[in-house]
Amino acid sequence: MLDKLHEDINKLKKLETIRSEFLGNVSHELRTPIFAVQGMLETLLHGALDDPEVSKDFINRALANTQRLNTLLNDLIEISRIESGDMKMSFRYFPLKDLLRQVVTEMEPSAEQKGIKLELISNHDNIDVYGDKDRIKQALINLVDNAIKYNKQQGKVTVSSQDAEKEAIISVEDTGVGIDAVHIPRIFERFYRVDKERSREAGGTGLGLAIVKHIVEAHGSRVEVQSKKGQGSKFSFRLKK
């Protein structure tokens, strides 16, 4: 009885720590772009407005920061929906190749902007898989976004699907910086970034993979990661046919 009580108290304490760490992370992530916007507006007000070149640059930078705030808030809403069990999944059969084509088409401009080749490979017809198409699309976009962001100059990103009896295996592979084995178990945690500076420069907050994990696990699957530092990474998961 007493043991059980101690156990419950410890569990509550742990939850409280997680909660306050989460709030700390959120506040920090919000503060950075808000301060940036504030600083730019103040500089404009204190004279930079008189110089059209400078003011345009500052306004563009402020805009980029508000866009970042918007993405961050959307990700936070998504995470809280998932964790409170409010994320309604809608499972149906859908044609896999069509979805993969959509993802590649949507991500093509950002790949091109970074000089990265994005391609789609699949060894089968347009098979139907079972899942929530929109959520799977979102998970894939997050994976492709990372594969582009953490790639090298002239790198390559390959989205592929494989027919494997009762399942399809879907992978996103890159020729990027890779992830050291010690970090792999942690990259799915909220706000975890291997290289904070690099990720922040790339506009990341560390929520993308936490969202991917939740979505894939809600499909009774899990995300597998293979990576070699300096060579690239491959993220895969399976969907039922």
Ligand X SMILES: Nc1ncnc2c1ncn2[C@@H]1O[C@H](COP(=O)(O)OP(=O)(O)OP(=O)(O)O)[C@@H](O)[C@H]1O
Residues within window 28-87 making contact with ligand X, judged by CB under 6 A: 75
Report if residue 236 touches ligand X, rule: CB under 6 A: no
Please, which residue, 193 or 238, has the CB nearer to Mg ion? 193
Roughly how many angstroms between the first and final C-alpha of the chain, as a whole number? 47
How far apart, in whole angstroms, are the C-alpha atoms of residue 107 and residue 105? 6
Report if residue 146 touches Mg ion, rule: CB under 5 A: yes
The DSSP 8-state label assigned to residue 206 in this structure reads: S
CB of residue 118 to Mg ion, shortest distance in Å? 16
With contacts defined by CB under 5 A, name the span among 106-114, 181-189, 203-211, 228-236 that binds Mg ion: 203-211
Report if residue 237 touches ligand X, rule: CB under 6 A: no
Q: Of Mg ion, ligand X, none, which one does residue 29 interact with (CB within 5 to 8 Å by kind)?
A: none
Sign of CA dihedral 209, 215, 220, 221: negative
CB of residue 143 to Mg ion, shortest distance in Å? 8
The token pair that represents 161 in the structure block:
């699907």
Residues within window 132-161 making contact with ligand X, judged by CB under 6 A: 142, 146-147, 150
Report if residue 194 touches ligand X, rule: CB under 6 A: yes
With contacts defined by CB under 6 A, name the span among 87-95, 96-104, 119-127, 173-181 that binds ligand X: 173-181
Which of 65, 122, 233, 236 forms a contact with ligand X (CB under 6 A)? 233
Please, which residue, 58 or 146, has the CB nearer to ligand X? 146
The C-alpha angle 160, 154, 57, rounded to 5 degrees, equals 115
How far apart, in whole angstroms, are the C-alpha atoms of residue 108 and residue 90? 27
Report if residue 209 touches ligand X, rule: CB under 6 A: yes
CB of residue 43 to ligand X, shortest distance in Å? 27
Residue 71: enclosing H or E segment and its boundaries?
Answer: helix 52-83
Residue 189, number of CB atoms within 10 A of its CB: 13
Identify whether the C-beta of residue 62 lies closer than 8 Å to the C-beta of residue 34.
Answer: no
Q: Of Mg ion, ligand X, none, which one does residue 161 interact with (CB within 5 to 8 Å by kind)?
A: none
How far apart, in whole angstroms, are the C-alpha atoms of residue 122 and residue 118? 14
**Total number of residues that touch Mg ion (CB under 5 A):** 2
**Total number of residues that touch ligand X (CB under 6 A):** 23
Integer-rounded Cα radius of gyration of the chain: 21
Which positions ≥6 away from 132 have C-beta within 8 Å?
Answer: 89, 90, 91, 92, 215, 218, 219
How far apart, in whole angstroms, are the C-alpha atoms of residue 135 and residue 155? 27
Report if residue 208 touches Mg ion, rule: CB under 5 A: yes
Report if residue 129 touches ligand X, rule: CB under 6 A: no
Binding residues for ligand X (CB under 6 A): 75, 142, 146-147, 150, 174, 176-177, 179, 187, 192-195, 199, 204-210, 233
Binding residues for Mg ion (CB under 5 A): 146, 208
